Amino acid sequence: MTIATTDLSQQLRAELIAVQTLYRAFSEQNPDLVDAVLAPDWDDIPLAPGQEPGPAGIKPILRMLAAALPDVQITIHDTVQQPGKVAVRAEISGTHLGELFGIAPTGKKVSFRLHEFHTLADGLVTTTWHMEDWFGLFLQLGQFPPQG
Q: What is the pLDDT of residues 72-91, one digit of tens each?
A: 999 999 999 999 999 999 99
pLDDT at 2: 61
In a domain, 146, yes or no: no
pLDDT at 89: 98
Q: What is the mean pLDDT of residues 17-43?
A: 97
| Residue 117 is assigned to a structural domain of this protein | yes
Q: Is residue 70 part of a domain?
A: yes
Q: Is residue 80 part of a domain?
A: yes
Q: Is the pLDDT of residue 121 over 70?
A: yes
Buried b (16+ CB within 10 A) or exposed e, 75-103: ebeeeebeeeebebebebebbbebebbeb
On the question of pLDDT at 51 being above 70, the answer is: yes
- At 147 the pLDDT is 86
Residue 1 has pLDDT above 70, yes or no: no
> Do the domain assignments include residue 147?
no
Find the CATH number of the domain harbouring 17: 3.10.450.50
In a domain, 27, yes or no: yes
Report yes or no on 64 lying in a domain.
yes
Domain that holds residue 63: 3-141
Confidence of residue 3 (pLDDT cuts 50, 70, 90): low
- pLDDT of 41 above 60: yes
Q: How far is CA 58 from each of CA 1, 23, 74, 142, rounded to the nearest angstrom?
A: 39, 12, 15, 27
CA-CA distances (angstroms) from residue 45 to 49, 118, 122, 136, 145?
12, 10, 20, 20, 21
Count how many domains the chain has.
1
Please indicate, yes or no, if residue 105 is contained in any of the structural domains: yes
pLDDT at 16: 98
* pLDDT value of position 4: 77
Position 142 pLDDT exceeds 80: yes
- Per-residue confidence (pLDDT) for residue 98, from 0 to 100: 98
